[in-house]
């Protein structure tokens, strides 16, 4: 699931400037997204 998060971070939202608060927020949000989509194999 980390590979999925990395893919999103690297390819889907590269325009975001990473800061401590932004990183924490996005990681938390990506965890929720990845959990809701973890059964959808087409993500990979």
State pLDDT tens for residues 1-44.
567 667 666 665 555 566 666 667 777 887 887 788 766 655 55
Q: Which long-range contacts (CB under 8 A, 24 or more apart) does 21-28 make?
A: none
Number of independent structural domains in the chain: 1
pTM above 0.85, yes or no: no
Collapsing DSSP to helix, strand or coil, 18 comes out as coil
Of 3, 1, 5, nearest in space to 29 by CA: 5
Collapsing DSSP to helix, strand or coil, 7 comes out as helix
Q: Are 2 and 24 in contact (CB under 8 A)?
A: no
Show the domain range for 13.
2-43
pLDDT of residue 15: 54
């Amino acid at each position: 699931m980390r590979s999925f998060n990395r893919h999103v971070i690297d390819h889907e939202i590269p325009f975001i400037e990473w800061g401590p608060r932004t990183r924490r927020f996005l990681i938390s949000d990506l965890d929720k997204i990845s959990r809701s989509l973890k059964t959808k194999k087409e993500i990979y």
